[in-house]
Amino acid sequence: MEPVGTSRADPAVGERLRALREARGVSLSALARSAGIGKATLSGLEHGTRNPTLETLYAVAGALGVPLTALVLAPGDPPGAAVDVRGAAVTATLLEVFEEAGATFELFWMRVRPGVVQHSPPHAPGVTEHVTVHQGVLRAGPGPAPLVARAGEHIRFEADVPHVYSTVGPGEVVANLLIRSPR
């Protein structure tokens, strides 16, 4: 599948976004303000005329208080049906979604391109990210104090604050990302 954030918008993402917004009784203007994005951008996403980046999807998901998969995966669909999402530095492929009584877990295969810093907006309150690096050296975590992990290492951080992803050095990072979103 072509990643979200490249050349083609996925109208299904916009339909899910609009349905979630309307189910919560939130106006387009209020959601755009809460997510920190333009109203025209949000309208374009809902109508399938704008292609969302990973950063935009996380901002909207955080403002709605839902996991990313609520936007990129239709209820009941297998994880492989989700579109890949691409940000400034990160491309993420959904591998699995786990549901427990108190939380949703999203497992991604992630590649981080060298030479670019991805600034991710805060997720909903209580969200944590867990990253296991398989290749390269990763710098990730809260903006003012990111952590560093090498191949074979794991880091965990609170993701309900602005956070970053980048490589250390010229090589690409390949990792697994597990996002835990409390309900």
pLDDT, one tens digit per residue, over 83-136 is 788 999 999 999 999 999 999 999 999 999 999 999 998 988 999 999 999 999
Q: Tell me the pLDDT of the chain averaged across its residues.
A: 91
Dist. CA 40–CA 27, nearest whole Å? 13
Dist. CA 4–CA 19, nearest whole Å? 19
Q: Where does the pLDDT of residue 74 fall: very low under 50, low under 70, confident under 90, or very high at 90 and above?
A: confident
> What's the whole-number mean pLDDT along residues 52-72?
88
Which pTM was predicted?
Answer: 0.85
DSSP class of 4: B
E strand or H helix that includes residue 28: helix 28-35
| Order of strands across the sheet that contains 118-120 | 118-120, 163-167, 137-142, 147-150
Dist. CA 138–CA 12, nearest whole Å? 32
Q: How far is CA 164 from CA 20, 64, 94, 95, in A?
A: 27, 21, 19, 22
pLDDT at 22: 95
pLDDT at 9: 61
Query: Is residue 89 classed as helix, strand or coil in its secondary structure?
Result: coil
What share of the chain has pLDDT > 70, as a percent?
A: 95
> What's the whole-number mean pLDDT along residues 40-48?
91
> What's the whole-number mean pLDDT along residues 134-151?
96
pLDDT at 65: 87
pLDDT at 183: 86
